[in-house]
Each structure stands twice: as C-alpha cells, then as structure tokens.
Structure 1
C-alpha cells in the first residue's frame, strides 16, 4: 500500500497491481502464473486467519514477493527480519569523541555475543528442540518463542490418540516448507517456517482421515 504506483489502496487493489502490472509481460520480472484471487486466498488464510483450501505458496512466488518488497529473495527477507545488522561505516559521520566511545563498546559487545551461551537458545533435532549456545547456526532465541521443549515434539497422528481433553486440543499443527501439514504435542512455531502453530480442530482431523466420535 506504500507503493505510489498502486492507485487502489486496498488488499485486492494491491494484489491486482502485483499480478497484472509487476508480474505482467512488460515488467522486468519473469511472469509467474498466478492470479489475484490466489493471493487473496493466501492473505485470508495466513494474515486474517480465515481457514480455506489455499496451500503453502511456492518458493518462486515467495521470492518474487520478497523481491517486490526490496529483498534479494525470500531467504533474505527471513534472515533480515530475524537479525538487524549494524552498519559500522555509518559511524564515520559522528564526531571523533563519539567514535572513541562507541568502538570499544562495539568490540566488547561483539566479544560477549560470540562467547555467549545460554539455555534461552534452542535448535531443532529431528523431532524435538534441544538447548544450544546462541552462537550456533540456526539457533533460536526461546525468550522470543517461549517453547516448552520438554513437551514440544513432532508426532504422527494415529487412531486411539486423545485429540482433545475436556474440549481443549492436545495437539497443534502447521505446514512445513513443502506445504505438508505436520503435528506437534505443544504450542509453538514450526521448526522450518517459524510460523505460529494452530491448535487442531475437528475439521483438520477430518481432513487427515480421523472421525471424531462424541
């Protein structure tokens, strides 16, 4: 909606511009076979939380949307959103006295960060999270997600499981990077996409082939 080229400042207007103009034949980007209705369904499902049959957007479409927003690709968007980088060259515009103060502070902060180990960081291992140093690649700061790693496990639903207790769900679900639905034993985020998991419903269980009998 901040794009001055978009005249219709509504979700549908933005989606139509993105599909018909930005991804059009005259645009510098490769045309991708998608219509504004498809993106509307993604918007309703993942932004407005309205359940529909929209699957997971293909990585090609994610890359094109990320490029439109000013990123190199979808991976760059995710990485930039998770970690904010400091431009040391920008410090040059400050006075010499400020630089003398800031540089040692930055060096000390970097040293402490690189040597910082804490149980607040976790990493995904096959079907569960484990504590890990925050300096490990792919480590997540659990102070952000608040995942109970003692309870959080990926599971395969089977008949005989107690899906609900007193009407409250015992399992949560989310889609992996391939768009496949997966199930977990506690609330949290999907370890691949970092999207917030949703509690199971009878509707989701029916889609998985389970019949709920009162």
Structure 2
C-alpha cells in the first residue's frame, strides 16, 4: 500500500501543525502560523501557512492549495527530514514495516486456529513461519542513529549500509572539547569530516555515515585549536 501524493501532503501538513501546536501552545490558526513563520526563518509566510491550515486541517476546499516543492522541502526539514523526498521514502518504509507486521499477525492468528487440528498438521506451517521470520528479520545491515550505527534488517532505506561488525562496534561520534584525549601513543584516535563548512568528529576511521563520497581524516592540532570548543563552554551551554 502506497500513499498518494495528496494523502502524503495531507499527512505532512498535519504532522507539521501538530508539532507546532505542541511547541507553541497556540490554538488559533494565526498564532500557530506566526510561530511557524518565525521558526522557519520566514521561508514560508504566515499567510501561506494559514492557508495550509484552513485547507488541510480545517478541510476548507476553497483554501486548499498544493504547496510548492520548495515549501514541501521546508516543511519536511521542520520535521527532521533532509527534504520532501526523504520524508516520502521514510513514510513508505514505515508503511511496508506496518504491512509486514499485519501479515505476521495474520499468519499467527491462522496458526492458532490450525493448532486444533494437531501438531503434525501444523508442523509444515510452523517451519514456513520460522523461515519467513528469519528471512525478513535477519539483521545484515546497519544504519546511523544520532551518534552511532545500529544493526537493522536490510530493507533498502536511505543511508543503509551492509553490516560491518568492526565499524558497528567502533565508529561513533564523540562529545569533544579541548580536554578530550585526541591522541594515543602519538597516533590520532579522533577523525573528522568537513562538508559545506560543517565539521563532524568520529572515533575510528571510515566514510561519513550520511553523506556519500565523504571520508574521515585524522584530526590535526590545527583542527583542535580552531574547531574544538573549551570544556567550560560546553558545560555552561549544557546548563543553559
């Protein structure tokens, strides 16, 4: 089952306004839209957001306008997705996962009824179920979650990688500050990547977990001096 374009946009806008209502504590369309306009750095105007609210939340057909690709990307980023395409891919993955869960539940329900016939009659079906589950739940891939890799079932989602036990175990994102130990036996144990003026630090050497074609480099004293913040600054920021 796949969501149509209109259904997907409907869901996107509903999720955006649900998040905005929770964060802003506003209840009126104008207040919520003004809040979103500020949060989105005025990339979408309050008037346009109010029209989305009226058209998709209040279901006023006369106010419903399909958002532009630019606005769809901005709204998707507000929900934590890279763009609208990534939002669509993630939703399709969730739908497939839910459909698989329903299928397994359906098979389990059928097995409960079949048990009345007898163990030997059910045995072939039990074997099929075991093979089915082992096929779909064998975790031969890994995906980056916040600051580390997590072992998952291969399903061709975005940023999915083939399982590498050493990378899974050792490649992580450290919380660094000036006092952090960057070298051991005069060899760097922290690596970094730089892309579009953004710098990320990792323990162990490998490719960037999100961006294709980006690989880590050993940290240098110049990077430590220019990019690593003092530990006191991090402590103050965490208290705030």
Q: Report the structure, 1 or 2, having the larger helix content.
A: 2
Q: The TM-score by the shorter chain falls in which range?
A: 0.3 to 0.5
Query: If the length of structure 1 is used for normalisation, what is the TM-score?
Result: 0.38
